[in-house]
A and B are shown apart, each in its own frame.
Chain A
Amino acid sequence: MTDAASFPKADAVADELPRFTPLQRLIHWLMAAGIIAMLFIGVGMVSTIAATHLTLVSIHKPLGVALLALVIIRIAVRFRYGAPPLPVDLPSPMKLAAKASHYAFYGLMVAMPLIGWAMLSAADYPITLWGGFNLPPIVAPSRELHALLWDAHRTLAFVFFTLVLLHVAAALFHALVRRDGVFQQMAGGARP
């Protein structure tokens, strides 16, 4: 996916810092807000019997579908524009961790909404996105499949949140400790 050679260098001319394109940065930050909201809404909605439960569920479904649409666009944009290179002096275990965690992120971003959608399909619930609009089921009703998908949705949510925390820690490590410009590739701003 990464193709540094084709990456536009317009910013780099100004401060020698190749960045993600503005479109990529926009999608990244939109999805960051959406995913963090989804994870909090998810654990919150299953932890209460108050009316909030229904409100949170009614946000969780359309937001999940919106994130699925965004990740599809994001993957296409990533194939088109690639990603700026990591610093040459980044130790190879960190490079490996960076690459592996990004594959994991893409996998989760695609899988979580599909698993949620399939889980509701397997449970034979109408998948209502908003008043009167339902998504079609993507699997046939099945108690065994529902159990499997429910487990997966829940487990992967915790994996996802852990990955988000690691990602934030790594981003801040780049920003505050290594000061190598990796943070600014996505956040913008001048290299420290």
Chain B
Amino acid sequence: MADPTRSRSLLASLTAIGFVVGGGAAAFAYTAGWLSPDRLTPAKVVDAFAPPGGPALGHRRNHAKGVCFTGSFESNGAGAELSKAQVFEAGRYPVVGRFNFGTPSPVAPDAKARVRGFSVRISTPDGQEWRSAQISAPVFPVSTPQAFYELLQASGSKAPEAMKNFAATHPEIAGFGGWTKTAPWTASYAEERYNGLNSFIFTDAGGKDRAVRWSWVPEAPPVSVPADDIAKRGPDFLQEEITQRIAAGPARWTLVVTVADPGDPTADPSKAWPADRRTVEVGKLIADKVEPEADGPCRDVNFDPTVLPLGIRTSDDPFPAARSAAYAVSFDRRTAEAKDYPAK
């Protein structure tokens, strides 16, 4: 070490090692988002759903209140022209699903159920699954996941002008807002039409791609109930009604696939497609059993809309990826909190 050349070169070597290791660590930290506080992470989105008192541990972070159902999907074979997925070959495939509504609270009164949800997992003999989660709104409130995060922040904000300011900068919310104000209420999950809203790509056996959206159209005719009457119902009236209804006989929905024309806004679920687009009825979902969520078959199913069979894939719509990332965080958290939500 007395040799100055040698100690200089030692210093240079150690500096080089420090740069390599430090650079590696910095690149890792950057990739993880630790150096980018503005990055919209799935954890931030999930946190933004939490009410002021914190999230309900052990439960889904949104659409937290719901009941499980099981049944089957009866494919009529008409969808095979659009997608090569086995689920569209004529046949009957088992379904696990969940009726729910948009709320972070598993004990919210059902009268709050403006945006009702319908989650479905269809399994086919080839080992593949099609998971999806639909809502009763005909359009999504906003165009992008970033805007959705801002909407969550605005609606949770105490600032009196927060929502007004949000609406001013996101005029697309008018479509959804109009629906919440004017759409008739029903007193049953079975009378709702559930819309996929996001667009996906169906690939047929010849390899042709088509952008589609889909809806589950109820067989039960919707009976309009005044909003004032809904407010007077019991806190669990929707769950009780669907349990009794299906105990008496199955409820059914027709799956209607809408095919986009070139130029339709596939990337923006806040924009409806023109009403004259081609639709194909591809089968019926038959729900024949309802069970409470706590020990029901849907409890630990993450209805991640990107779990798709070969023949269906995501499109340029940015929401399924965002939903997948956020649903995974919600799932990871609630499974880690299982003790806070004991099975009955």
Residue B139 lies at the interface, judged by CB distance under 8 Å to chain A: no
Residue A180 lies at the interface, judged by CB distance under 8 Å to chain B: no
Residue B325 lies at the interface, judged by CB distance under 8 Å to chain A: yes
> Could you tell me the distance between the alpha carbons of A45 and B32 in the complex, rounded to whole angstroms?
8
Contact B335 A165, beta carbon cutoff 8 Å: no
Residue B231 lies at the interface, judged by CB distance under 8 Å to chain A: no
* A182 CB to nearest chain B CB (Å): 14
9-residue interface stretch from A48-56, A59-67, A78-86, A87-95: A48-56
Chain A, residues 30-46, CB within 8 Å of chain B (1/0): the string is: 00000000011001111
* A9 CB to nearest chain B CB (Å): 30
9-residue interface stretch from A12-20, A69-77, A121-129: A121-129
Closest to A55 in B: B321
Question: What is the count of residue pairs linking A and B with beta-carbon distances less than 8 angstroms?
Answer: 119
Residue B31 lies at the interface, judged by CB distance under 8 Å to chain A: yes
Residues 99-148 (chain B) with a chain A CB within 8 angstroms:
126-129, 145
Pick the residue among A40, A134, A146 that contacts B128 (CB under 8 A). A134
Chain A residues near B32 (CB-CB < 8 A): 43-44, 47
Residues 289-344 (chain B) with a chain A CB within 8 angstroms:
299-302, 304, 306-307, 309-310, 314, 318, 320-322, 324-326, 328-329, 331-332, 334-336, 338
> Could you tell me the distance between the alpha carbons of A131 and B25 in the complex, rounded to whole angstroms?
34
Contact B16 A176, beta carbon cutoff 8 Å: yes
Residue B33 lies at the interface, judged by CB distance under 8 Å to chain A: yes
Residue A189 lies at the interface, judged by CB distance under 8 Å to chain B: no
Chain B residues near A104 (CB-CB < 8 A): none
Contacts A47-B41, A48-B41, A49-B326 hold; do A40 and B16 have CB atoms under 8 A apart? no
Pick the residue among A51, A54, A161, A172 that contacts B28 (CB under 8 A). A161
Residue B183 lies at the interface, judged by CB distance under 8 Å to chain A: no
Residue A8 lies at the interface, judged by CB distance under 8 Å to chain B: no
Main secondary structure, interface of A, reads helix
Contact A47 B324, beta carbon cutoff 8 Å: no
Residue A22 lies at the interface, judged by CB distance under 8 Å to chain B: no
> Could you tell me the distance between the alpha carbons of A85 and B141 in the complex, rounded to whole angstroms?
66
Contact B336 A147, beta carbon cutoff 8 Å: yes
> Could you tell me the distance between the alpha carbons of A20 and B279 in the complex, rounded to whole angstroms?
63
Interface residues on A, range: 35 or more
Contact B16 A49, beta carbon cutoff 8 Å: no
Contact A143 B16, beta carbon cutoff 8 Å: no
> Could you tell me the distance between the alpha carbons of A164 and B25 in the complex, rounded to whole angstroms?
10
Contact A123 B28, beta carbon cutoff 8 Å: no
Chain B residues near A43 (CB-CB < 8 A): 28, 31-33
Chain A residues near B33 (CB-CB < 8 A): 43, 47-48
Residues 3-22 (chain B) with a chain A CB within 8 angstroms:
10, 13-14, 16-17, 20-21
Interface residue tally for chain B (C-beta within 8 Å):
49
Residue B42 lies at the interface, judged by CB distance under 8 Å to chain A: yes
Contact B306 A172, beta carbon cutoff 8 Å: no
Contact A50 B318, beta carbon cutoff 8 Å: yes
Contact A143 B335, beta carbon cutoff 8 Å: yes
Chain B residues near A164 (CB-CB < 8 A): 24
Contact B324 A53, beta carbon cutoff 8 Å: yes
Contacts A43-B31, A123-B335, A150-B336 hold; do A165 and B310 have CB atoms under 8 A apart? no
Chain B residues near A168 (CB-CB < 8 A): 20-21, 24
Closest to A136 in B: B127
Residue B45 lies at the interface, judged by CB distance under 8 Å to chain A: yes
Chain A residues near B334 (CB-CB < 8 A): 143
Contact B45 A47, beta carbon cutoff 8 Å: no
Pick the residue among B27, B302, B338 that contacts A147 (CB under 8 A). B338
> Could you tell me the distance between the alpha carbons of A151 and B337 in the complex, rounded to whole angstroms?
13
Chain B residues near A45 (CB-CB < 8 A): 325
Residue A173 lies at the interface, judged by CB distance under 8 Å to chain B: yes
Chain B residues near A57 (CB-CB < 8 A): 324
Residues 227-285 (chain B) with a chain A CB within 8 angstroms:
none
Closest to B25 in A: A165
Closest to B29 in A: A43
Contacts A54-B321, A124-B301, A147-B335 hold; do A49 and B31 have CB atoms under 8 A apart? no
Chain A residues near B208 (CB-CB < 8 A): none
Residue B39 lies at the interface, judged by CB distance under 8 Å to chain A: yes
Interface contacts beyond A123-B331, A126-B307: sample of 9 additional A-B pairs, CB < 8 Å, sorted by A:
A40-B28, A43-B28, A43-B32, A43-B33, A49-B42, A52-B321, A143-B338, A147-B338, A151-B336
Sample (22) of A-B pairs whose CB atoms are under 8 Å apart? A49-B322, A50-B318, A51-B321, A53-B322, A123-B302, A123-B335, A125-B307, A126-B128, A126-B129, A126-B307, A143-B299, A143-B338, A144-B335, A146-B335, A150-B332, A150-B335, A165-B21, A169-B17, A172-B20, A173-B13, A177-B13, A177-B14
